[in-house]
């Protein structure tokens, strides 16, 4: 039985999600703020977390970041706001999906199944199948067994999605990849979101690649392409 943690200070919403989740066979734990969510994750493991952004004591983004430092648990974030900034910030701290209130409980359950399934596949096989121990593009080096990325010898910290996108790009150097291809490869064919998600994640990824940010080229009307860096980098 999959274990679900629900963190929201609105009891009506918590009860609604819990009711639908239990019907789907989840074992449900409910907490009322971000600090309680962090503490719950310290004590036990969960298959997924549904968490509100605006909560007392500790907000959802801070709680997600804290949890991600200790455990790799997929997170579906709830918010009354649907601004691009909120979504970008959520992806940056490791949120897997984002649902704006008011929402359909049935859609939320469907999205939840997707991120749990995707996380399970990623944990067992990796989002992108390994073909070598190391990938290089100039001074950009990806250690596949360790899932680490270094830039000219300095390690850069990427989220799981950013890492998977970068590996996909480097393995397909010089090939134009459409947003749909990237979504299908990294998120899976059953992802509910739209291709703007790819743009947001690539914007965040470029911000962490320093002198190698321009290796990811935008091809107008087609998608993206990764090219080897100039030798002087």
Assess contact for 89 and 53: CB atoms under 8 A. Answer: no
100 and 37 in one domain? yes
What is the residue-level pLDDT of the chain in tens, covering all 233 positions? 899 999 999 999 999 999 999 999 999 999 999 999 999 999 999 999 999 999 988 999 999 988 987 888 889 999 877 666 667 777 777 788 888 888 899 999 998 988 888 777 655 544 444 344 788 888 899 988 888 999 988 999 998 889 999 999 998 988 999 998 898 888 875 566 666 888 989 999 999 999 999 999 999 999 999 998 864 44
Q: Contacts from 212-217 at CB under 8 Å and sequence distance 24+?
A: 212/137, 212/138, 212/139, 212/140, 212/151, 215/137, 215/140, 215/169, 216/169
168 and 205 in one domain? yes
Structural domain containing residue 201: 134-226
142 and 117 in one domain? no
Assess contact for 215 and 140: CB atoms under 8 A. Answer: yes
Query: pTM score, two decimals?
Result: 0.59
């Amino acid at each position: 039985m999959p274990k679900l943690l629900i963190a929201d200070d609105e009891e009506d919403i918590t009860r609604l999600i819990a009711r639908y989740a239990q019907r789907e066979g989840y074992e449900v734990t409910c907490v009322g703020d971000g600090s309680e969510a962090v503490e719950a994750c310290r004590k036990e493991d969960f298959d997924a977390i549904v968490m509100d952004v605006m909560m007392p004591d500790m907000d959802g983004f801070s709680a997600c970041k804290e949890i991600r430092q200790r455990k790799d648990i997929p997170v579906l974030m709830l918010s009354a706001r649907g601004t691009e900034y909120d979504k970008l910030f959520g992806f940056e701290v490791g949120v897997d999906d984002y649902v704006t209130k008011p929402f359909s409980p049935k859609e939320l359950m469907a999205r939840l199944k997707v991120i749990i399934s995707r996380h399970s596949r990623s944990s067992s096989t990796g989002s992108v199948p390994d073909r070598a121990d190391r990938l290089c593009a100039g001074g950009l080096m990806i250690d596949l067994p360790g899932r680490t990325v270094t830039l000219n010898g300095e390690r850069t910290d990427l989220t799981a999605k950013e890492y998977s996108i970068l590996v996909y790009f480097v393995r397909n150097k010089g090939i134009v990849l459409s947003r749909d291809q990237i979504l299908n490869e990294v998120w899976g064919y059953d992802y509910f979101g739209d291709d703007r998600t790819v743009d947001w994640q690539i914007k965040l990824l470029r911000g962490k690649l320093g002198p190698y940010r321009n290796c990811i080229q935008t091809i107008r009307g087609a998608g993206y392409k990764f090219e080897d860096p100039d030798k002087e980098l």
